[in-house]
Amino acid sequence: MKLIKTIQPIGGYWKMTEEGYLVNDTAIEKVPAHYLPVLEEIKEAYLEQHKVDLLSIYLRGSVARGQMVESFSDLDTFAIVRQDIRWKKVAWSKALNDELQAKYPFIKEVELMLSGFPLNTNMEMLVKTQSLLIFGEDLGQEITPYRVSKALMLNYRWIREDIDDFLAKKTIDETDCQEIMKVIVRTGFELVMERLGKYTTDLYWCAQGFVTYYPRYQSEVEQALHFYLNPTTEKKKLDALVQKLGNFIADKCAKELLI
């Protein structure tokens, strides 16, 4: 029988300085020691594949902040390379994933991405506010600090496209379920971020922020969190939630943010 995961208040809102700038709270000291050999192998893989044009390698997400859940949280990494690319998965991602998952059973999945240099505005934000340098040049040193603003929002421009793509699929896997739930909850938070005056990527706190202003959707948001933690492939059930909660959020974004 599959264990049902329950919603937990993991993470929190980002700390801010007295001047209102976000504090990047990642630190190598927060990464558990048994993850360090994994990061070393990832670093060596990036170097082997991109030694000519590699500038930096970063870790982001819950592992970089010491808030991961073993066998559930992804290990999110990206490399900055001297190439004209926006954001793409490395071609050798599956092979390394299979190798690392076999060797380190506490790893769920490793995200291996590339982004070009000079950095675009979204990458500047990610590097400055929520990424931990694990190799190379610290590009964040030259980036201006961020306050809570539209510049922190990554999802609202694409939420309608993401919903339409999901609804168009005939069948889905558990990753599809988790991805759309994550996008919907985080986009919901983007709707209220500036009103709240706070920032987070942690799903529990994104949900809390959203229902502060839209309490009538509390049940649907709790469902979204449940399906993220306990993914399903029951398409009809997910479609109903995506159409109700997702469409509401997408419509609000179109009216309030896409202006």
Residue 189 backbone phi and psi in degrees, to 5 = -65, -35
**pLDDT in the model for residue 69:** 78
Q: Amino acid identity, residue 30? A: K
Please list the pLDDT of the chain residue by residue as tens digits (259 residues): 455 667 788 889 999 999 999 999 999 999 999 999 999 999 999 999 998 899 999 999 999 999 887 767 789 999 999 999 989 999 999 999 999 999 998 888 899 999 999 999 999 999 999 999 999 999 999 999 999 999 999 999 999 999 999 999 999 999 999 999 999 999 999 999 999 999 999 999 999 999 999 999 999 999 999 999 999 999 999 999 999 999 999 999 999 998 6
- Give the span between the Cα atoms of 102 and 104, in whole angstroms: 6
- Looking at residue 247, what is its pLDDT? 97
Query: What is the predicted pLDDT for the residue at 68?
Result: 81
Provide the pLDDT for residue 3: 55
pLDDT value for 1:
43
pLDDT of residue 209: 97
Among candidates 123, 58, 49, which has minimal Cα distance to 86? 123
pLDDT of 179: 95
Contacts of 192 (CB under 8 A, 6+ apart): 209, 210, 212, 213, 214
Whether domain 28-142 has CATH 3.40.640.10: the reply is no
